[in-house]
């Protein structure tokens, strides 16, 4: 039995002490000790807004047979909420929410505006039963683990490297776990920003945040941030950033020796029951190279033997729009 845990942060207006990373990690750990039995939750229980208990609030999905989880939701903007604030409340990155809502102004979408919450996801191919899988194309990290005889996964939005300092792909392991890390700016960064000190100590000015997981390519880390607006964007010098409330949860779960695989998979195809879905994450302008994503989708469909089950019009429209969430492409659905 395999279940999915979708990180869901505090709901709109939840500006309480629950936003403190220490409280969030405590709630998460208590929650993991109290996991309910399989089948205790429905697959798509409707919710008008996410629970307000931060990272300890999760949604369960059984995907022992199906690789598509979650469902789309709608959020009504309250006052001067920005899309970034809404994304963080729902455990999404900035690009995820702006791709899903291209018609909305990101900073002031407007009181009462309808925001699509793209919580429907196609899982990447699972390379191991326990470890971290990062998909650069979707700027999202998945941590697969086992508990009480069940296979589980929890997922977080991330910030990754800019194009001229991209996060490297490949296979790594976690070699060290650091609490309250100091940051030593590398020579390449100090050359551009000579005013930086040789070492930045722990604290609110430290760009590594409160926790860090060092990778076997030692200059790269999975860490927190003091710039939460960067999550879901290309914004780092190659490291992988999580929201301040998310990194303590991952840090508590991922041990030294945990395998890490970094991939770049802009097109994912999966199924739930008899329905087939596609999820496309284009780089740059969504319409500029859509035919290359269509060719990749056709290749995956052939490999999975699904060509005869899809609606060609739906497939092309989903690829052309490239909005970064699971879209139905089955024929006759």
Task: Give residue-wise pLDDT tens across range 67-92.
Answer: 887 889 999 999 999 999 999 999 99
Please, what is the angle between helix 312-321 and helix 290-304, to 10°?
Answer: 130
pLDDT band at 63; cut points 50, 70, 90: very low
Could you write out the three-class secondary structure of 213-250? EEECCCCCEEECCCCHHHCCCEEECCCEECCCCCHHHH
Residue of 333 and 45 predicted with greater confidence: 333
Among 75, 84, 211, 239, which one carries the catalytic annotation? 239
Query: What is the per-residue pLDDT for 16?
Result: 35
Among 59, 75, 211, 223, which one carries the catalytic annotation? 223
- Does the annotation mark 223 as catalytic? yes
Instruction: Using a pLDDT cut of 90, give the percent of the chain over it.
Output: 56
- Tell me if 16 sits within 8 A of 27, measured CB to CB: no
Torsion, Cα 126 131 136 138, to 10 degrees, reads: 60
- Tell me if 215 sits within 8 A of 225, measured CB to CB: no
Query: What is the per-residue pLDDT for 154?
Result: 86
Cβ-based neighbours of 118, under 8 Å, separated by 6 or more: 72, 92, 96, 97, 99, 100, 323, 324, 325
| Mean pLDDT rounded to a whole number for the chain | 81
Long-range contacts of 303-307 (CB under 8 A, 24+ apart): 304/269, 306/269, 306/271, 306/276
pLDDT of residue 64 exceeding 80, the answer is no
- Does the annotation mark 239 as catalytic? yes
Cβ-based neighbours of 312, under 8 Å, separated by 6 or more: none
Lowest mean pLDDT across 23-37, 126-140, 290-304:
23-37
Candidates 287, 286, 295; CA nearest to 324 is 286
Residue of 82 and 14 predicted with greater confidence: 82
Instruction: Using a pLDDT cut of 70, give the percent of the chain over it.
Output: 79
- Mean pLDDT in residue range 273-286: 85
Query: What is the per-residue pLDDT for 333?
Result: 62
- Mean pLDDT in residue range 54-63: 40
Query: What is the per-residue pLDDT for 138?
Result: 95
User: What confidence tens digit (pLDDT) does each residue in 158-194 have?
Assistant: 999 998 888 999 999 999 999 999 888 777 787 778 8
Q: What global pTM score does this model have?
A: 0.82
């Amino acid at each position: 039995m395999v279940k999915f845990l979708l990180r869901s942060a505090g709901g709109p207006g939840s500006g309480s002490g629950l936003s403190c990373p220490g409280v969030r990690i405590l709630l998460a750990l208590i929650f993991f000790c109290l996991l309910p039995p399989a089948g205790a939750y429905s697959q798509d229980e409707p919710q008008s807004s996410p629970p307000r208990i931060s990272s300890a609030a999760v949604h369960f999905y059984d995907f022992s047979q199906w690789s598509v989880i979650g469902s789309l939701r709608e959020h009504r903007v309250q006052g001067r909420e920005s899309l970034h604030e809404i994304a963080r409340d729902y455990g999404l990155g900035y690009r995820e929410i702006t791709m899903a809502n291209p018609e909305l102004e990101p900073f002031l979408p407007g009181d009462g505006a309808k925001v699509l919450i793209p919580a429907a996801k196609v899982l990447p191919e699972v390379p191991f039963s326990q470890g971290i899988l990062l998909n650069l194309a979707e700027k999202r990290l998945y941590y697969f683990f086992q508990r009480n005889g069940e296979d589980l996964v929890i997922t977080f939005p991330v910030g990754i490297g800019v194009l001229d300092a991209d996060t490297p792909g490949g296979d790594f392991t976690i070699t060290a776990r650091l609490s309250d890390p100091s940051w030593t700016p590398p020579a390449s960064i100090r050359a551009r920003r000579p005013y930086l000190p040789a070492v930045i100590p722990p604290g609110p000015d430290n760009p590594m945040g409160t926790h860090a997981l060092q990778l076997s390519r030692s200059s790269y880390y999975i860490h927190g941030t003091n710039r939460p607006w960067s999550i879901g964007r290309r914004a780092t010098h190659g490291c992988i950033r999580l929201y301040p409330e998310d990194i303590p949860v991952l840090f508590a779960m991922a041990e030294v020796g945990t395998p890490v695989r970094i991939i770049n998979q802009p097109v994912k195809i999966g199924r739930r029951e008899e329905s087939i879905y596609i999820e496309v994450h284009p780089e740059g302008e969504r319409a500029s190279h859509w035919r290359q994503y269509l060719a990749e989708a056709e290749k995956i469909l052939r490999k999975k033997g699904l060509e005869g089950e899809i609606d060609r019009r739906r497939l092309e429209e989903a690829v052309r729009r490239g909005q970064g969430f699971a879209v139905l492409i089955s024929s006759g659905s």
